[in-house]
A = this chain, B = another copy of it.
């Protein structure tokens, strides 16, 4: 079963917003064995939309369209969608009741004609109920292809994927199995890893595909197995992962089914019944943001001090001014003191501290641009490492954040009973 994801909207084509919807839809479909053939972003233009639908007709089984379902004039998706099926728009009473309830009941506003028009749908379509917004999803089949149109607002699209589309596809279509296994390595570059595992790679069975996903400081290896016999796929994956582990055991730090590092750290802390806090300078609160974005974070994440200015390090974290004068704000000693201070102040088991110079200018420290010290305080000790993450600013911040979470993960794993 093959699908193409189509995103409609000039705001994407001029780079005003980044399309995150397609990634979410792809991941949801991939999990149930639907292969994504292409993702396409096109303009809010009737002919362009129509031509795209025509080109995909009978080429894929499923076309999922997002965007262009809002109430205003520039949204021509619904009209074009309806024309493509040579259908006419009619009022869906259930949608109208829901829109009225949302506008008058929840938002306490008088309903307008534009609001009411959101209840117009092609007469032959299957309406997908959008509990969290006013624009319904629409499911329509023409010959061998199902076209599904969804609103572009991310949480409305997500609601419809989770509650309507995935269950309906699972119920109505047979799909093969697609199983991914991702191996996390770190410390060696993509080319070095590739040379070490070349023989192993050449011996992989044809139904297993390998991809390298390099990121600053680490490489993820993704194995994808596809076929109809689930047991065979799982056995082959396991065998090959074991073979791989024997070759590069020294650099494998984990296996990841779809799990971000902050989720992995959160799970570890929950299992161990431990808590964490952060003291952040150059990372500006981004480690805290990631940790707290996970549902249930309040069970292990106490909080953070973002001591961006030197004065904040002194006043809020209580780092002695003399220490900063002697070693500078960007130093092993200050990083270590920050980690110990926040651990004590937040009364946690673990703490992360970062201090560095992300650039573009040197600021009030003498450290080279890209220099970052990361300190991890554990129940037993405090460790500090120095890095140079190069340039530009965004890369330095992102690498420091990921490296911090990886280091704390390593320390927690060491202390697991």
- Chain A residues engaging chain B, CB cutoff 8 angstroms: 10-20, 22-28, 30, 36-44, 70-75, 107, 109, 112-115, 132, 153, 155, 180, 182, 189-195, 201, 209-214, 222, 224, 258, 277-278, 280, 284-289, 291-293, 295-298, 301-309, 311-312, 315-316, 345-347, 359-361, 363-364, 390-395, 397
Contact = CB atoms under 8 A, between A and B. Distances in A.
A303 B308 contact: yes
A36 B14 contact: yes
A345 B309 CA distance: 12
Contact of A72 (B28, B38, B191, B347): B191
Contacts of A363: 298
Contacts of A291: 284
Contacts of A30: 14-15
Quick one: copies of this chain in the complex?
2
B288 A306 contact: yes
A40 B289 CA distance: 32
B303 A393 contact: no
Given A13-B26, A44-B211, A289-B289, A192 B109 contact: yes
B115 A315 contact: no
Given A306-B305, A393-B295, A394-B155, A72 B212 contact: yes
A315 B303 CA distance: 11
29 contacts: A10-B211, A13-B26, A13-B37, A14-B27, A18-B23, A19-B39, A38-B42, A39-B41, A40-B41, A71-B190, A71-B191, A74-B209, A74-B212, A75-B212, A132-B390, A132-B391, A155-B392, A155-B395, A278-B306, A292-B306, A298-B309, A298-B363, A302-B309, A302-B311, A302-B312, A303-B306, A304-B308, A305-B305, A316-B346
A315 B71 contact: no
A28 B42 contact: no
A16 B213 contact: yes
A285 B114 CA distance: 38
B308 A305 contact: no
Contacts of A303: 305-309, 312, 316
Kindly name the residue among A30, A36, A308 whose own CB sees the greatest number of chain B CB atoms within 10 A: A308
A146 to B, nearest CB: 19
A304 B304 contact: yes
Given A288-B284, A393-B295, A13 B27 contact: no
Contacts of A107: 189
A384 B24 CA distance: 36
A11 B287 CA distance: 24
A311 to B, nearest CB: 7
A338 to B, nearest CB: 12
Contact of A285 (B44, B292, B392): B292
A254 to B, nearest CB: 15
Contact of A347 (B16, B201, B311): B311
B114 A191 contact: yes
B315 A346 contact: yes
A346 B287 CA distance: 20
A289 B285 contact: yes
Contacts of A286: 285, 289, 293
Contact of A302 (B20, B28, B209, B308): B308
Contact of A40 (B39, B345, B360): B39
Given A15-B27, A109-B192, A304-B308, 11 more contacts: A14-B30, A15-B36, A22-B41, A72-B191, A132-B390, A285-B286, A302-B309, A303-B309, A305-B306, A311-B347, A315-B345
